[in-house]
């Protein structure tokens, strides 16, 4: 089996780690959900799931998350708790960037690439609907999906902009910024997609150029001393460490070391303090960096 993605993985990781990645691609991932405490409680959701014979596993590092033992997302979508926005289907990996950013009440927060709203709604929940969130989405169709999810989840602290985050006026200034950047999705694919060879060097170059531009914009918009989370659902260093290294040469920033649960399987990284989650039956492959803009 050969492909551009596989070539890149072999260039960037040891044989053992490539084998671990391929094994992760081959796994069927468990369905996971996040509880919306703006509308309900953890215990209430647990009771509903138990009454519907849907056994769950609690997530030790996040009390608002459950792993479904046997059922899939279609079983959840049939329940009122899903229809009412009491729960949100989201991967465990996708929940981590917000927890690492650790937003709090009364902060001015920017979500640069917000749709469909997984992390936007999570930030609203973590700040009890009392932060000031600006969510950017340049695609009108995706913007409508974002607005729908915000309303369904009961989010009232968010202002949505139908705008490319790169075009935001420099007059804007934020305490913290979440940049979950558009990426190749190399951490989320399955083993069959490697064979389809959906990657190309041209596509990867276009993606990394955009990631670099977005990260530089984030660091311009965040206040001195403010925090930026840069994340991708990719395990390619081209989109992660290489982007960070380029930007770090142009803008003064500090990499704040991330500490995550030892139970979470990771891949080696080239920049100490950053994290790259390994794909497996519980997690998508995901890269996260916590950055602090240095004061001038």
Select which of 136, 158, 160, 233 is catalytic.
Answer: 233
Q: Taking residues 8-35, what's their average pLDDT?
A: 96
Give the integer Cα–Cα distance in Å for 245 and 118.
28
Banded pLDDT at 285 (limits 50, 70, 90) = very high
Contacts of 247 (CB under 8 A, 6+ apart): 212, 215, 216, 219, 253
pTM of the complete model: 0.96
pLDDT of residue 103 exceeding 70 = yes
What integer pLDDT is reported at residue 249 of this predicted model?
Answer: 94
CATH code assigned to 4-28+92-293: 3.40.50.150
What integer pLDDT is reported at residue 268 of this predicted model?
Answer: 98
Mark whether 233 is an active-site residue.
yes
Strand (E) or helix (H) holding 241: helix 241-248
What integer pLDDT is reported at residue 296 of this predicted model?
Answer: 61
CATH (one of 3.30.1490.20, 3.40.50.720, 3.30.70.1170, 3.60.9.10) for 30-90: 3.30.70.1170
pLDDT of residue 32 exceeding 90 = yes
Q: Taking residues 273-280, what's their average pLDDT?
A: 98
The crossing angle, in degrees rounded to 10, of helices 140-152 and 118-126 is: 30
Contacts of 1 (CB under 8 A, 6+ apart): 194, 195
Tell me which of 77-81, 133-137, 188-192, 277-281 is least confident: 188-192
Q: What SS3 class is residue 38?
A: coil
What are the domain boundaries of the chain?
4-28+92-293, 30-90
Nearest Cα neighbor of 159 from 167, 168, 147 is 147
pLDDT of residue 156 exceeding 70 = yes
What integer pLDDT is reported at residue 155 of this predicted model?
Answer: 98
């Amino acid at each position: 089996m050969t492909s551009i993605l596989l070539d890149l993985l072999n260039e960037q990781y040891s044989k053992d780690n490539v084998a671990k990645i391929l094994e992760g691609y081959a796994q069927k991932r468990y369905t996971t959900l996040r509880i919306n405490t703006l509308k309900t409680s953890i215990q209430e959701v647990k009771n509903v799931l138990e009454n519907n014979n849907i056994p769950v596993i609690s997530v030790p590092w996040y009390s608002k998350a459950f792993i479904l033992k046997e059922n899939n997302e279609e079983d959840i979508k049939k329940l009122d708790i899903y229809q009412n926005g009491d729960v949100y289907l989201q991967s465990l990996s996708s929940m981590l960037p917000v927890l690492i950013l650790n937003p709090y009440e009364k902060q001015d927060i920017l979500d640069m690439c917000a749709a469909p709203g997984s992390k936007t709604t999570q930030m609203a929940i973590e700040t009890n609907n009392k932060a000031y969130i600006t969510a950017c989405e340049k695609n009108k169709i995706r913007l409508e999906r974002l607005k729908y999810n915000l309303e369904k989840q009961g989010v009232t602290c968010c202002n949505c902009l139908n705008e490319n985050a790169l075009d935001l006026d420099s007059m804007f200034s934020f305490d913290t910024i979440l940049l979950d950047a558009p990426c190749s999705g190399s951490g989320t694919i399955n083993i069959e997609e490697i064979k389809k060879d959906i990657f190309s060097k041209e596509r990867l170059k276009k993606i990394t150029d955009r990631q670099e531009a977005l990260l530089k914009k984030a660091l311009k918009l965040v206040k001195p001393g403010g925090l930026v989370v840069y994340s991708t659902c990719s395990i390619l260093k081209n989109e992660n460490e290489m982007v960070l290294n380029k930007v770090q040469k142009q803008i003064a920033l500090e990499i704040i070391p991330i500490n995550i649960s030892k139970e979470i399987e990771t891949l080696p990284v080239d920049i100490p303090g950053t994290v790259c989650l390994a794909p497996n039956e519980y997690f998508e492959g995901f890269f996260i960096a916590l950055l602090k803009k240095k004061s001038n």
